Structures are given as C-alpha cells and as structure tokens.
A and B are shown apart, each in its own frame.
Chain A
Amino acid sequence: MNFIQELGVLLKKNIREYGMYIALAFIMIIFTILTKGLFLSARNISNLFNQMGYIAVLAVGMTLVIVIRHIDLSVGSVAGFLGAIAAALLRNNFPLIPTILIIVGLGILVGLGNGFLVANIGLPAFVATLAGMMIFRGALLVFTQGTGTIIIMNDTFNAIGNGYIPDIPNNTNYHLLTIIIGLIVVAFYIMSDVRTRNNKLKYNFEVLSMRMFVLKEIFISAIIFYIFWTLASYNGISWTFAITLIITLIYHLLTTRTALGRHIYAVGGNPDAAQLSGIDVKKITLFVFGSMGLLTAISGILYTSRLQSATPDAGNLFELDSIAAAYVGGVSAAGGVGKVINSLIGALVMASLINGMNLVGVGISLQYIIRGAVLIAAVVFDIKTRSSAK
C-alpha cells in the first residue's frame, strides 16, 4: 500500500474522529482569508481562547450529563447567579480565596440538588433543570435589583478572566514560560501516544504503521507547539486558557482511565445492565450533576471576572451554547458516547465562528442562523458517519 492510499484509508476509517478537526481547520482558513490574516494573529487567538473558556468548561461537564442521558438547562442562570454572589462578596471586602471556595461549594450544592431531584425523586432532568433555570434567573434579577450591575474592584479576581501567567525573566520578546510549557505538553503528548502504541503492539492490536504514526505525531505536535508559540509572541498563556486546559485534562483522565469514568459511560450505555453489574446508578447521577455544578461555578467566576462585573443578564443562553458545543463535539443523546476533549474542540469551533463573524462584521441575527446551521450540519455528519462506520 502506498502512502497516499494508506492516508486515504485512514481518513475514511476515522472520518468521524477527524471530521471535527477538518471542520475547525476549514472555519479557521475561511476567516483567515476573509480577515486578511487578522483571525490567526496572536492577539486574536489569545482573545479567542479567553472568549471560549467559560463555555468550554461548561461543555466538558455537559458532556458527562448527556452521556448519562440527561440534560442540565440550569447552568446559564446558575453561573450568572453565582457570579453575582461572588461580586457582592468581593465588594464587601470579603477575601478572595474564601469567596471562590464559597462559590464553588454553592455550585456543587446546586448541582447535587439537581442530581437529587433526577436520581432520587425521579424527575426528568429536562423539567428539574428547566425549573432551576427559571428560579436562578429570577434570583439573579432579585439580587441585582437594588444595585444594578455590580462592579468588581478586586484586581486579583479580575485577572482570572483577563490576566496572563507570569513569565520567568528573560531578554527575548517572547513569553518564555509559555514556550517551555508548550514543549512539555508536546513531550507528554508524544510519550503518552508511544506508550499506548507499544502496549497495543504487545497484544497484537491494530496500530498505525510506523510512518503514519510518526507523521501524525509530527503534525499534531506542530499544531500544539504553534499555538503555544503564537500565544508566547503575545502575552503568553492566559489564566482562563490555563484553567480550561487543566480542567479538560483532569476530566479526560477521569473519563478514560478511572473506574468512575468507566462507570459513567456504562450507565449511559445501558443503565439497567450497569445496575445489574453492581454500579450504583443513583450515585453516578449525583456525581455527574455535582460535577456539572462545580464547573458551572468555575464558569460563572471566569465570566464575571472577564466582565469585571456582575450583570442581571449574565449567563444568558450559556446552557444552550454549551449543549451545542458538546453536540458539535460528537456526544450522542442516546447515551454512552462522547469525549470531553472533543467537546472542548466543539466549543472552540463555535467560539471561532462567533469570533470570526464578529471580525468580518456579520450581524448578530445572521450569526444565530449560521450557528444553528453549523450545529445541524455537525450532528447530521456525526449520525451519517456513525451508521456507516458501525
């Protein structure tokens, strides 16, 4: 088999996996051309990651919720509400760390509350979290009624959504620590892939041919390194980007390598079989909603910090943006299918669209229509390739 043939077979076999990346590349190229390179500028890429952070974090949690065949519509309102509480606490000179801990704790409580209604009482998740969406939207309005928008003066808090990680002293124009981190990420990526490949070889499982494997490693390493290089030529890694990446990494490990993660997918794949296999479905449901609450709190903090204030309409439609990101990333409403990394990419696809269309000057009304069309196209693609791949 020659090289081109092999590449063709590979693409065809993994079209589902690669489709989203191809779509992302396509969107990026289009906007780069339309904006004469502005889209891919260091400043805009940095900006793009900051814009996507609070949705990406929600999309990661939403992936697990959808995997176990539920939905959480309350996350937008709750994120807005928790952001307002944080703002109020900070304005009254409450110290930063306790504030963040309180917000995260409240988020987990709300999530567990949703989980309790769904798992223990037996409410459909749609209904339980729709109620939550209304209740917390109302609560946010009540909370900001007297004050209107709450401005936050705490610089450390505001840095979460706007600041960058510090650098180590050097005399270049580049953010040296970002480059070093980029190299470490690449090294980890290659090491983990080599380990997996060797393992598979040991048991005679199907693996990529050596030349394909090397090519793939070079290609992906180059992209990863290019991203970090670009960021380094601007202000470096932002706190938002760092938080998003760390959360995604933790959830990636949780879902792919731990027993808890396997149990979550088992519950999604077949709840009855999971229960008869000794898995406590209620506990898993509580955990997944609790984790959604935790991520909602973090999303609320990221957003509030980015705006440096809490507004009455904060978090509006976040739930739908994060659900869309997860679906673009390939989760299935039938349960048991979906990867958190892909949902992160899904969030990046949607954020790139918005960012690009803003740069080009597309009106907000048309933006919604295009985003809707992309969502449908992504899910249609997913369904079509799934049935053919089997």
Chain B
Amino acid sequence: MSDYILEMKDITKDFPGVRALDKVNLKVRRGEIHCLVGENGSGKSTLMKILSGFYPHGDFEGEIIFEGKPQKFRSIHDSERVGIVTIYQELALIPELTVYENIFLGHEIKSGRLIDWNKTIAMAKQVLEKVKPDLDTSRKVKELGVGHQQIVEIAKALTKNVKLLILDEPTSSLNEDDSENLLKIIKDLKKQGITSILISHKLKEVVEVADSITILRDGKTVANLNKEDGFSENEIIKYMVGREIEDIYPKRKKREFGDKIFEIKNWKAYDKTLGRYVVKNANMYVRKGEIVGVSGLMGAGRTELALSLFGNPKNYAVEGEMYFDGKKVRFRHPGEAIKAGLAYLSEDRKGTGLILDFDVKTNITITGLRQLVRGFFINDNEEIVLAEQFKESLKIKTPSIEQKVLNLSGGNQQKVSIAKWLFVKPKLLILDEPTRGIDVGAKYEIYTLMNKLVEEDGMSIIMISSELPEILGMSDRIYVVSGGRISGELSREEATQEKIMTMAVDY
C-alpha cells in the first residue's frame, strides 16, 4: 500500500511578509479519496494552487512527484496535461451555454476545422452516464442548480482524462441531498480508479468518505490520518485548531423572550420572471430576544422569503400581512426596511454583500451614512472612530480599517458584513448562511456574537442555514421551509436532525 500517485515534499511558499506554507508534505495513494482539512488561511488553497501549476515551478521550494516522475508545472495547462484537474469553489462554467457545450469547452471535438456537434452531444451523454445519467445535456447551465453545475464540472474533468481530481469545497454551497449525491459520485469515480483530493470544512462528510486525511494548520502539516486507524471529528478539530473545543456552540445565559417583534400572515411572493410562487402562504413570527432558525434545502425559498420581507429588491409580487415592531408594514425597498430596523446579511458576501473594492471602514458605514453627515459632508472623524470600535469589538483582523476588504480572509470579510448591519442598530437581524465558508474559530466568534446580541442588546435574529448542527445548536425555535412554504415548526427541545430533514423533503 505504498503506491503513491502524488507526493509533494517539503513545499515552502512565501508571500510578502508571510510564510504561507512551511515544509508541507502531502502523500496521496493511488485510487483513494484524500481529504485536506484545515482552518481558513491554513494553506490548503495555496498548496492546491501549487499543485495545479497556478503558482509556477520556481515560485516555491520543494518537490512535486506525480506518477513517479518529478514535475515542473509552469501553468494550469501543464498539470492538466498529466491528468490533474481542479474544480474550484467558484465554478468555471459559462451560464449561457448548454451542458454539452460546457463539457467540451476549450477542447472541442472537431471534424476538420468545424465542431462536430453530433459527436459532441453523443460524447457528453456518454461521459454523463458515469456520473448523472438523467441530466439533459441540451439545457443551459444557468437553468441548473448548483448541485448539477458541479456535476457538469466533474464531467468536464472526466473528458480531460483525469487521473487526480481536486475538489475545492464542492459541497459548501450544496444542500444535504445534493452533497450526498456528489459524494456518492466521488466514491463511484474511486471505483473507476480516479484519485480525488477533497478540500472540505464539513468534517462529517470528510469522516464519511475519506481514506486518509491530511490536516494543515498555519501552513504546516500537523497530522496524517488513515482510515484503518479510524477517524473522529473531535480528533480532527483538535488538530485543526490545536485545542479541544468542548462545545462548538457557546452556551446562552438566558432564554427569555419579549413580545412578538415580527410576524407575517399568509405571506406570498410571486416571481414574475420565473412565473411561479417562490413563497407560499408563509406564517411565522419572531419574539424579542429570540434566535429563530430557518432550515430547508437549497432552493426551498428561504432566501426568497428573506428578500421579500427586506424591501423586496427582486420585485416579487407580494401578498399577505406583515407586522413589524407593532405596526402593519410593507417595505417598498431595502432602504425603508433598514430605516424601520430590519437588516439582512446576504448569503453571498462577495457577490451581493460587500463592495470588495471599498475599504473596511466604508463597507461598514455604507448602510447608514446619513447618521454621519454633518451639514453637507460626511464627518470622517466620527466615521473612523465608529469603524475602529467595530474592528475592536468584532475582532476584525486587518492591518487597518483603510484596507480593502478584498484582501481580508473569508471569516474577517464576514465580520465586516455583520458589522455593517450592527452599525444601523437593527431590531431584527436576518442572517442568511452566516458561517458559510469560514473556519471553525471564526464560526465560534460569530455564534458568541449572536448570543450577545440577543441577550444583552435585546435584538432578535432569524438565522437561515443549511447546516443542521448549526440550526440545532443556535436556534430557540425552528421553521423548516420546503417548496416555498413553511412545512413545519419545531421547538428547541423537540428538534432533531431527522425531524428537520423529514419536514424539508416534505413537498
């Protein structure tokens, strides 16, 4: 069992001012699923970028041996030629093209100088046979869900004669169902002899699929675990953070709730472009000081529900009654909702949450600039003082509040996103996937902050999340959304993963 398809030896990589990788070793056996885990910033992505040739040979120290031969990749092209294909978190598909066009994009099947479309379609079907036989190859990629788009990416990799498939957090934006599906595909590929490296934050799935695990911390290899010796999540976490986390979810001191601050009755939202209801007859309420979890599968209508409440920026046709802070309301745009005391943390912090080119300070204050205006102008002193306070209280790690958020890590970006909403002192904070794609340490800090907000500041929180443990660990009450309607409500005491899943798939 020492047939290694890949060995990376003593890899060291420096960025200006920081050592990203320090003599990292990675050995991957032929035909296994090798999981690479570590907190954000531990060096996983850098290591994979070295392997794929994104950082060319000479840009780092150390040696890459693939299939017994030392390799000197100068570009991604070089690594793909020997059969190493990476699928990134941000998918590299063209939404307007069909599945089969995407699969062969860049290496089209030609007869003579022209593309042979019949053969392309036939080959696409053949390759999809291995992963997802029922996927219609003539559909445009933009019409597919994220789960199916991932599958198209894998199919694309298969046509490139892949020997080693690298998946960078493939399940981070998938629901439980799609995740399971994807993992099954990776296991199937293993049977067909394809080796995979899987980067993931979801330790449960790591434990489930991995044959061996390499754990990185602060740019160093800290552990190498094999399936034969058995895995445990706690052990992995211990290695990742270097300490035992007794409880991932911080204890709440009190659970006392005030009056209903928010309620909707028979709430409906009709999406004119999709031509269907995205929210159907929803009834829910939130009390003062309460954390209400909203669970459900991806595409169940959770984000749509939140947006329809938060000033309806997508212009759904909205019906029903909404009460907020004792008044019957209907917000016409997000500005009105914010003014009334509602805030919405976007699920997509880079796409719709932050202005990446702005610095930390201006991202935080953009939601309520008018508070800072004296006469005609923004008072920059006050702005700096306020931004510094948030940097301190939320422990945002940045050299300065004048740093562009583009340059911050995911966890710190998320803290900036939260700060910009705390800046307007909302009464009800809707958090849409507040811990997606951030590391264990930052997650813990965000959970602690949520508890503080409801306990000390009397805020109320609606937390939308795809991660069941998070929903169970943090919520006082749980609503489950399925197919645009609320399919169930559970108290903290009665909720279990099984009960939630049953409601989530109940159409």
Contact = CB atoms under 8 A, between A and B. Distances in A.
Interface of A: 199, 203, 205-206, 253, 257-259, 262-263, 265-266, 269-270, 272-280, 336-337, 390
A280 B335 contact: yes
Contacts of B335: 278-280
A362 B352 CA distance: 51
B415 interface: no
Nearest to B352: A272
Interface string B223-267: 000000000000000000000000000000000000000000000
Contacts of A253: 376-377
B338 interface: yes
Nearest to A265: B358
B388 A203 contact: yes
A270 B356 contact: yes
Contacts of B402: 205
Given A205-B400, A276-B334, A336-B357, A258 B378 contact: yes
B24 to A, nearest CB: 25
A257 B356 contact: no
B378 to A, nearest CB: 6
Contacts of A279: 335, 366
A270 B366 CA distance: 12
Given A259-B373, A276-B344, A270 B384 contact: no
Contacts of B376: 253, 257-258
A103 to B, nearest CB: 26
B69 interface: no
A277 B357 contact: no
B353 interface: yes
13 contacts: A199-B380, A257-B376, A257-B378, A259-B372, A266-B366, A270-B357, A274-B366, A276-B344, A276-B346, A278-B311, A278-B334, A278-B339, A279-B335
B438 interface: no
A277 B377 contact: no
B335 to A, nearest CB: 4
B355 A270 contact: yes
A16 to B, nearest CB: 14
Interface residues of B, number: 38
A257 B388 contact: no
Nearest to A390: B407
B331 to A, nearest CB: 10
From A206, A272, A336, residue with most partner B Cβ within 10 Å: A272
B360 to A, nearest CB: 12
Given A258-B373, A259-B378, A266 B338 contact: no
B346 A262 contact: no
Contacts of B373: 258-259
A190 B53 CA distance: 50
B427 interface: no
B354 interface: yes
* Prevailing SS type, chain B contact patch: helix
B348 to A, nearest CB: 9
Nearest to A336: B357
Contacts of A199: 380-381, 384
Interface of B: 310-311, 313, 333-335, 337-339, 344, 346, 351-358, 362, 366-370, 372-373, 376-378, 380-381, 384, 388, 400, 402, 407, 420
B377 A258 contact: yes
Given A262-B362, A276-B334, A277-B420, A269 B370 contact: no
Nearest to A196: B380
Contacts, number: 84
B355 A273 contact: yes
Contacts of B352: 270, 272-273, 276
A270 B420 CA distance: 15
Contacts of B378: 257-259, 262
- Max chain A Cβ within 10 angstroms of own Cβ: one of B310, B352, B362, B388: B352
Nearest to A275: B313
Contact of A277 (B351, B356, B367): B367
Contacts of B400: 205-206
Contacts of B337: 278
A278 B338 contact: yes
A105 B420 CA distance: 39
Given A259-B378, A266-B355, 6 more contacts: A257-B377, A258-B377, A259-B372, A272-B351, A273-B352, A278-B333
B366 A262 contact: yes
A40 B272 CA distance: 63
A280 B338 CA distance: 12
Contacts of B380: 199
B109 to A, nearest CB: 35
Nearest to B337: A278
A269 to B, nearest CB: 4
A259 B355 contact: no
A269 B356 contact: yes
Nearest to A261: B378
A205 B378 CA distance: 19
Nearest to A337: B357
A369 B8 CA distance: 53
Contacts of A262: 362, 366, 369, 378
A102 B163 CA distance: 72
A253 B376 CA distance: 10
B384 A203 contact: yes
A275 to B, nearest CB: 5
A97 to B, nearest CB: 26
A258 B344 CA distance: 25
A230 to B, nearest CB: 33
Contacts of A259: 369-370, 372-373, 378
B470 to A, nearest CB: 22
Contacts of B369: 259, 262-263
A205 B383 CA distance: 14
A259 B377 CA distance: 7
Nearest to B381: A199
Contacts of A275: 313, 333-334
Contacts of A390: 407
Nearest to B372: A259
Nearest to A203: B384
- Closest 9 pairs between A and B when the two form their complex, measured CB to CB: A278-B335, A269-B355, A259-B369, A272-B352, A257-B377, A278-B338, A270-B355, A278-B334, A277-B367
A204 B192 CA distance: 59
Contacts of B354: 270, 273
Nearest to A269: B355
Contacts of A272: 351-352
A310 to B, nearest CB: 36
A259 B378 CA distance: 6
A316 to B, nearest CB: 35
Nearest to B377: A257
Contact of B333 (A257, A273, A280, A336): A280
Contacts of A278: 311, 333-335, 337-339, 367-368
Nearest to B400: A205
A262 B377 CA distance: 11
B383 to A, nearest CB: 10
A105 to B, nearest CB: 23
Contacts of A258: 373, 376-378
A278 B402 CA distance: 22
B314 to A, nearest CB: 10
A278 to B, nearest CB: 4
A269 B357 contact: yes
A277 B370 CA distance: 13
A253 B373 CA distance: 13
A82 B358 CA distance: 38
